[in-house]
Amino acid sequence: MKILALCTGNPERLPGKSYKTGIFKHAVNGAVMIDAEGLVGDGICNRKHHGGVDQAVYVEGSLTLDWWATELGRPHEPGTFGENMVISDLDNRDVAVGDRFVVENLILEVTACRIPCATFAARMADPKFVKRYTVAARPGIYCRVIRGGVVKTGMPVSHQPFAGEKVTMPELMETFGRRLSETDRARYLAAPIHYKLRALLEA
């Protein structure tokens, strides 16, 4: 595996919307510094739902993006889904909470899956895209930064699976907002899950 693209964005206004969003990401050339808050220089507008230490970096696997290109019938540029990093030979469905992506000094740890929203649908110019994305069950991957570093396109990536019981990205999406069994709740809490979801599960 290797980094295929690193993407950042500036706040832009969506057509027909009154607010600005940082979802418009574009591939950058050269080295990028990643710290606890994500890619330095990346614009984040709605910090209630985006960014923060437990979703500092948004990752997409190239195999998942290839699937979407076929599904949508068109190729798309890196950053189209608002992702910060594209990793080659990675299928999002194979990723679980607690998995780590290591790029030299940089260590990312998976915390949660991407839940589609109205802004994402507007970005894709498809009012039904939230449902389409949910049904596809290939959600993007949010990570916290365990150790920061400077990375660039082409650098090799090591995918280190979580040693405990798995909570996969598709499962997280499927159970989002639903009541879990006590067994599943314990399994979720045993993983290094996003602090907001942890708080909900512990409530």
Q: How much is the average pLDDT of 93-113?
A: 97
pLDDT at 121: 85
pLDDT in the model for residue 19: 72
Give the mean pLDDT of 90-101: 98
pLDDT at 55: 92
Provide the 8-state DSSP code for 172. H
Give pLDDT, residue 45. Answer: 54
d(CA 183, CA 181): 5
Domain spanning 3-202 has what CATH number? 2.40.33.20
* Mean of pLDDT values over 70-85: 92
| pLDDT tens string 109-135 | 999 999 988 888 888 888 899 999 999
Q: How large is the average pLDDT for residues 35-61?
A: 83
- CB atoms near residue 153 (< 10 Å): 18
Burial 116-127 (b: 16+ CB within 10 A, else e): bbebbbbbbeee
Mean pLDDT, all residues of the chain: 91
Predicted pLDDT at 104: 95
- Average pLDDT for 143-156: 97
Give the per-residue pLDDT at 86: 98
Angle between helices 62-72 and 129-136 (to 10 degrees): 130
34 — phi, psi (to 5°)? -120, 120
State residue 164's pLDDT score: 95
Flag whether pLDDT at 64 surpasses 90.
Answer: yes
Higher pLDDT, 76 or 68: 68
Indicate the helix (H) or strand (E) that contains 64. helix 62-72
Residue 49 has pLDDT above 70, yes or no: no
pLDDT of residue 50: 66
pLDDT of residue 28: 94
Backbone angles phi, psi at 20, to 5 degrees: -100, 155
